[in-house]
């Protein structure tokens, strides 16, 4: 696999129509928002989940593209699998020792932990991409991932709507009796009529060397970011689409410009200057890139 030799920063612009892009469990699963500005939010964890799901779907049988943080996974068992593959004994946990007075002194930063951490990076795409804490049981240490994402934030304040919905059935006979056979169940659904969101990402070659994140892995990541909503449709999320994916490629490993200055080159404005009607599609916005102000040593790649 080719070693990553360039720093990358990227801008991801996506929209949602009549859906809930990221519900907040602390607010009755309403769409997340900034209470001070009214702008919508989507967490980095939510975006990473969609990347993981895409990679798991498209590369399920390819060695090295397993997913560590996945639904119903028992993480300590997966960490133990790395030790089994290497044929070495894991460091005993406090629970294993049960407070025994004659327990052996262990070194959780020892050679075996380093070997297990390296094996986990080889086996799991999300570990070598986003990093992971793997010291929850059989210790494989911690990994700081070379790819980091910010929260996505809507360009303008969003409106969150609650809709009453009806199911023409009930779950139990007791419910049916209470309704005299009416058999109706009421529920709620939360949506955003329309929102355009922007998130930022960073790829560090220095950290990529530590985890084994390669140029091929970067290609898989970019493919996942472009297509992650295509295989994630649901009634709750409405219509979500990646509208723009702009990558800044640096000539050097350490970078040729500050990321924030590159991000400032991307301007998104509301095309309806009179504000007569609220935006309801991506075509209601104008995205421009000030390429004439691009610093030397930085290349723009428009992926979408």
In this structure, what DSSP letter does residue 281 have? S
Range(s) of the domain holding residue 173: 8-54+145-302
pTM for the complete prediction? 0.90
Q: What is the reported pLDDT for 108? A: 45
Query: Beta strands of the chain (E only): which ranges?
Result: 8-19, 23-24, 30-31, 39-42, 131-133, 142-144, 147-149, 152-157, 161-167, 185-203, 239-250, 266-270, 285-289, 298-302
Alpha-carbon distance 192 to 236, whole Å?
11
Structure tokens at 42: 């989507």
Spatial CB neighbours of 113, under 8 Å, sequence gap ≥ 6: 91, 139, 140, 141
The answer to whether residue 28 sits within a structural domain is yes
Diameter over CA atoms, the chain: 78
The answer to whether residue 18 sits within a structural domain is yes
Q: pLDDT in tens for each of the 304 residues of the chain?
A: 799 999 999 999 999 999 999 999 999 899 999 999 999 999 999 999 999 999 999 998 899 999 999 999 999 999 999 999 999 887 655 455 555 444 444 444 488 999 999 999 999 999 999 999 999 888 999 999 999 999 999 999 999 999 988 888 988 888 888 888 888 888 889 999 999 999 999 999 999 999 999 999 999 999 999 999 999 999 999 999 999 999 999 999 999 999 999 999 999 999 877 767 899 999 999 999 999 999 999 999 999 9
Query: What's the helix, strand, coil split of the chain in %, to 5?
Result: 30, 30, 40
Spatial CB neighbours of 97, under 8 Å, sequence gap ≥ 6: 103
Task: Find, among 271, 15, 286, the residue nearest to 152 by Cα.
Answer: 15
The number of angstroms, rounded, from the C-alpha of 84 to the middle of its chain's C-alpha atoms is: 29
Alpha-carbon distance 122 to 102, whole Å?
36
Asked if 24 and 40 touch (Cβ cutoff 8 Å), the reply is: no
Alpha-carbon distance 185 to 166, whole Å?
6
Asked if 78 and 95 touch (Cβ cutoff 8 Å), the reply is: no
The answer to whether residue 121 sits within a structural domain is no
The answer to whether residue 83 sits within a structural domain is no
* Alpha-carbon radius of gyration of the chain: 24
Residue written as token pair 């985890």: 211
The answer to whether residue 207 sits within a structural domain is yes
The answer to whether residue 113 sits within a structural domain is no
Task: Find, among 38, 42, 24, the residue nearest to 278 by Cα.
Answer: 38
The answer to whether residue 47 sits within a structural domain is yes
The number of angstroms, rounded, from the C-alpha of 125 to the middle of its chain's C-alpha atoms is: 13
The answer to whether residue 65 sits within a structural domain is no
Instruction: Domain count for the chain, please give it.
Output: 1
Q: What is the reported pLDDT for 92? A: 56
């Amino acid at each position: 696999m080719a070693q990553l030799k360039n720093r990358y920063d990227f801008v991801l612009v996506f929209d949602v129509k009549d859906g809930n892009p990221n519900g907040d469990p602390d607010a009755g699963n309403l769409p997340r928002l900034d209470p001070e500005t009214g702008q919508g939010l989507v967490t980095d964890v939510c975006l990473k989940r969609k990347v993981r799901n895409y990679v798991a779907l498209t590369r399920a049988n390819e060695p090295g593209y397993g997913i560590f943080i996945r639904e119903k996974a028992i993480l300590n068992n997966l960490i133990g699998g790395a030790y089994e593959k290497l044929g070495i004994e894991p460091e005993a946990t406090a629970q294993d020792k049960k407070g025994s007075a004659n327990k052996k002194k262990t070194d959780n930063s020892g050679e075996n932990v380093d070997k297990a951490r390296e094996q986990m990076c080889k086996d799991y795409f999300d570990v070598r991409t986003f990093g992971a804490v793997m010291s929850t049981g059989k210790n494989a240490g911690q990994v700081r991932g070379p790819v980091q994402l910010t929260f996505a934030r809507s360009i303008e304040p969003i409106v969150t709507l609650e809709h009453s919905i009806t199911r023409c059935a009930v779950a139990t006979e007791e419910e049916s009796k209470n309704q005299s056979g009416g058999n109706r169940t009421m529920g709620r659904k939360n949506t955003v009529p329309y929102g355009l969101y922007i998130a930022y990402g960073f790829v560090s070659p220095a950290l990529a060397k530590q985890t084994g994140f390669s140029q091929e892995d970067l290609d898989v990541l970019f493919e996942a970011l472009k297509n992650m909503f295509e295989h994630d449709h649901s009634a709750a999320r409405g219509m979500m689409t990646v509208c723009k994916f702009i990558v800044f490629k640096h000539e050097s490993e350490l970078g040729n410009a500050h990321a924030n200055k590159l991000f400032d080159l991307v301007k998104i404005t509301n095309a309806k200057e009179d504000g007569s009607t609220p935006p309801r599609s991506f075509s209601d916005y104008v995205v421009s890139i000030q390429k004439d102000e691009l610093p030397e040593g930085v290349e723009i790649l428009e992926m979408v």
